[in-house]
Structure 1
Amino acid sequence: MKKVIAVATKKEFNSFIDFPHDLYAQDPNYVPELFIAQRDLLTPGHHPFFEHSEIQLFLAYDGDQIVGRIAAINNTNHNKVYEAKDGFFGFFDTIDDLEVATMLVNAAQGWLEAKGMNRIMGPVNFSTNEVCGLLIEGFDGPPVAMMPYNKPYYLPLLDKIGFQKNVDLRAYRYTAGTYSDRSVKLIDRIEERLQRNNIVLRTINLKKFKEECNAIREVYNKAWDKNLGFVPMTDKEFDYTAKDLKMILDPDFCIIAEQEGKIVGFALAIPDINQILIKIKRGRLFPTGLIKLLLNKKKINGIRILLLGVIDGYRKMGIEACLYGRIIRAFEAKNMKYAEASWTLDHNEMINKPIEDIGGKLYRKYRILEKTI
């Protein structure tokens, strides 16, 4: 007999985190999330998201066997910013069974409806500031750091349940030696022109990491203010994320654009830590996972260009292209093999065009879905 329960016990909570490991056990492209990271992310009091919002986790069973999971997310900050009544779903995984998928969605939808929501959107794992989107094109390899992965059958299941496209997200790939060297060389001329307006590019100063982060946070919240569903991070949320990223940060891949000391744009690429995580069984660092992490960190040969933003008033000046160019040059100097730029909005030509001009190839797409409650 199939049923869905609201997660209430520690055992159910741990099973919620671990279910994908069993579902994807035979999938060579699956990358397990670190258990301790998922535990902290989903635990009130550990992640600052819970200071303003709430979630409810659900598990689907077929008899005694877990066959699916979903999280219902009430992001109150989102609804304040957009004056909306949007609910979200995330952490969605299921066997290829329409009944199970429907039961999971209905459970999340019912919980959100009781909170007064009139639309459900997702998948997002809590918001667009974290992992979000359903992979719909490009199932031929493992995901890069902090990007989602799912079975191809997820989209047909959710379509049958009544979800529709809200927007598609893009991921571009650069391969060493294939990007446009001509475009990168043009960046020198653009930077010279920017310097005449007292705009210079530099790498992050890790000795002043806290001060740099405070300035970057302001740019981040301004630069992304018109993006799909973007909600400004609270100070604590930004600090939480920055602290995590600092552990793998390479300053050569964190580029800042500033005018007379004022930061007006920045770009961040991170090592593709998934090259290591894919080898850590069930996301456990102990007893051997930590050793793998430490020994293989320097062997990572790919990056993900995670963030790039320029504040209003400084766009269309060539800053975006220069930020990408600086990262590509560092990429080349360190003999990296590939880079992924992700994600960008499907219709954001201001960002997509510079990526394509330098030689980025669109190779994966993700989708945010929506459904009226």
Structure 2
Amino acid sequence: MQLIEVKDKNTQKLFHKVPHLIYKDDKNWAAPLQGMVEGIFDPKKNKTFRNGKAIRWVLLDENGELLGRIAAFINFNLAKTYEQPTGGCGFFECINNQDAANMLFNAAAEWNKQNGMEAMDGPINFGENYVNWGLLVKGFMPQGYGMPYNPEYYEQLFRNFGFEIYFEQYSYHLDYTKPFPERFWKIAEWVAKKPQYNFKHFDYSQTEEFVKDFCTVYDAAWSFHEHYKPLDPDDIYDFINESKAILDPKMIWFAYHEDRPIALFVMIPDINQILLKLNGKLNLLGILKFLYYKNTKTINRTRILIMGIDPKYQRSGIESGIFWQQEQIMKQKSHRHYTELEFSWAGDFNPKVIAIYEATGAKRAKTHYTMRYLFDRSKKVKKAPVIN
């Protein structure tokens, strides 16, 4: 077997070809857009490179046939917030062969070691955790946009190499054609109409104001997390600019208490339902197809990317109030074609978020694992601590 570093257009093509070989007969898999994947490994587009580095490889057999691929990376802003310096690996795809998988995992581990790491997490993203994060182990069905999909045998490849579960990630599905629990709506309507609370959905004409509010809520909601780092407003501007084709301003909500931002809610249409038809390419024909399917309401699912609440208001029912506001939008003719909502994802370390999702009547549909590999094989992985 031959491991080749990806560093030119030819090896980039091989990198993108691997998943098409793995999933050629799998109707659940939606090919990610190649340009978006390449953007993750482009220092000009991915700000994680400001204090991070990445590398990737493809694996071929003796006849030059593709066997797999992997990327390794380190976000130095996060690496040393763990008990041991921890890097990562991701974008793993491989045939069902442990020797091939081990060769890929070993390459990622050795590179992380050489860069001062003592462990690596995988499969994860080189950037934010709401996309490309986790190993699917339960719920082998079409995934929401940004949620990883993989063959069932991947879990064994990871475990056999020595990866252990660092935390579990749960995705919940809500059938929009069925009513929410009555008690939930009573609380939601009561909160939504309290005069001290105000709710606004996103408006592009007020982007600067909403970005400030987003950062305020994010910093309040996640500052108690052990791996918290302040949010860079430029990251939000980049997300908005790069996602205009899929964002629906009426699915992004902010809650205020006497004009102070206290909660946020970001939901997006599940464009995987369109990507299933594009085969990972957004050329001229792909763009025309995308616009056609988007305008013909092919998408009937949405995915909640993020929901954050200032801890001071986490027992106020404010999240119910946001859902009540969103429900009024979903009743409008322009949004009635949405019949399913995915909440993804909630970590097993965050029981408060899990409780919120379950209170809506949503059912747990999928489980992903974030796994950790310690380079000192005499040590055991400690699971991520529960947030109190």
> In the alignment, which residue of structure 2 is the partner of 1:317?
316
Contact 2:189–2:324 under 8 Å retained in 1: no
Once residues 83 and 234 of structure 2 are traced to their aligned partners in structure 1, the CA distance between those partners, rounded to angstroms, is: 23
**Per the alignment, do residues 144 and 130 of structure 1 end up closer, same or farther by CA in structure 2, a change over 3 Å counting?**
closer
Please list the CA deviations of residues 190-217 of structure 1 after superposition, one character each: whole Å capped at 9, or x if unmatched: 2344x3xx22222122211132123213
> In the alignment, which residue of structure 1 is the partner of 2:344?
342
**Per the alignment, do residues 226 and 67 of structure 1 end up closer, same or farther by CA in structure 2, a change over 3 Å counting?**
farther
Please list the CA deviations of residues 296-352 of structure 1 after superposition, one character each: whole Å capped at 9, or x if unmatched: 113122111111001222211111222233334433442211110110112423122
> In the alignment, which residue of structure 1 is the partner of 2:384?
none
> In the alignment, which residue of structure 2 is the partner of 1:146?
146
**Per the alignment, do residues 101 and 232 of structure 1 end up closer, same or farther by CA in structure 2, a change over 3 Å counting?**
farther
2:96 maps to amino acid: D
Please list the CA deviations of residues 100-133 of structure 1 after superposition, one character each: whole Å capped at 9, or x if unmatched: 1111000000000001100111111114254201
Q: TM-score of the superposition, structure 1-length normalised?
A: 0.92
Please list the CA deviations of residues 123-175 of structure 1 after superposition, one character each: whole Å capped at 9, or x if unmatched: 11114254201111000x21111111111111111111111111101101011
Contact 2:130–2:345 under 8 Å retained in 1: no
> In the alignment, which residue of structure 2 is the partner of 1:106?
106
Is 2:334 the partner of 1:367? no
Q: Secondary structure at the match of 1:313?
A: helix
Once residues 81 and 219 of structure 2 are traced to their aligned partners in structure 1, the CA distance between those partners, rounded to angstroms, is: 12
> In the alignment, which residue of structure 1 is the partner of 2:286?
289
> In the alignment, which residue of structure 2 is the partner of 1:132?
133
Once residues 134 and 332 of structure 1 are traced to their aligned partners in structure 2, the CA distance between those partners, rounded to angstroms, is: 35
1:78-93 counterparts in 2 under 5 A? 78-82=78-82, 84-93=84-93
The alpha-carbon deviation at position 353 of structure 1 amounts to 1.6
1:1-373 counterparts in 2 under 5 A? 2-63=1-62, 64-82=64-82, 84-127=84-127, 128-139=129-140, 141-182=141-182, 183-193=184-194, 195=195, 198-227=196-225, 229=227, 231-281=229-279, 283-298=280-295, 299=297, 300-333=299-332, 334-335=335-336, 336-373=338-375
The alpha-carbon deviation at position 241 of structure 1 amounts to 1.7
Q: State which drifts further: 119-128 or 362-371.
A: 119-128
Once residues 154 and 227 of structure 2 are traced to their aligned partners in structure 1, the CA distance between those partners, rounded to angstroms, is: 22
Contact 2:198–2:259 under 8 Å retained in 1: no
2:293 maps to amino acid: N
Please list the CA deviations of residues 177-234 of structure 1 after superposition, one character each: whole Å capped at 9, or x if unmatched: 22425122431112344x3xx2222212221113212321332243234458555443
Q: Secondary structure at the match of 1:364?
A: strand
Once residues 256 and 56 of structure 1 are traced to their aligned partners in structure 2, the CA distance between those partners, rounded to angstroms, is: 38
Contact 2:221–2:309 under 8 Å retained in 1: yes
Contact 2:145–2:272 under 8 Å retained in 1: yes
Contact 2:89–2:123 under 8 Å retained in 1: yes
Q: Secondary structure at the match of 2:253?
A: strand
1:189 maps to amino acid: W
Contact 1:316–1:350 under 8 Å retained in 2: no
The alpha-carbon deviation at position 80 of structure 1 amounts to 4.8
Once residues 259 and 31 of structure 2 are traced to their aligned partners in structure 1, the CA distance between those partners, rounded to angstroms, is: 41
Aligned length, in residue pairs: 367
Residue ranges of structure 1 left out of the alignment (5+ in a row): none
Contact 1:87–1:119 under 8 Å retained in 2: yes
Q: TM-score of the superposition, structure 2-length normalised?
A: 0.89
Once residues 192 and 137 of structure 2 are traced to their aligned partners in structure 1, the CA distance between those partners, rounded to angstroms, is: 37
**Per the alignment, do residues 160 and 332 of structure 1 end up closer, same or farther by CA in structure 2, a change over 3 Å counting?**
farther
Please list the CA deviations of residues 9-37 of structure 1 after superposition, one character each: whole Å capped at 9, or x if unmatched: 22112321332122211110110111111
Please list the CA deviations of residues 46-76 of structure 1 after superposition, one character each: whole Å capped at 9, or x if unmatched: 2212122110101111120111111111111
Q: State which drifts further: 83-92 or 95-104.
A: 83-92
Once residues 12 and 224 of structure 2 are traced to their aligned partners in structure 1, the CA distance between those partners, rounded to angstroms, is: 35
**Per the alignment, do residues 331 and 81 of structure 1 end up closer, same or farther by CA in structure 2, a change over 3 Å counting?**
farther
Q: Secondary structure at the match of 1:56?
A: strand
Q: State which drifts further: 124-133 or 95-104.
A: 124-133
Contact 1:213–1:242 under 8 Å retained in 2: no
Cα RMSD, aligned residues only: 1.9
1:321 maps to amino acid: S
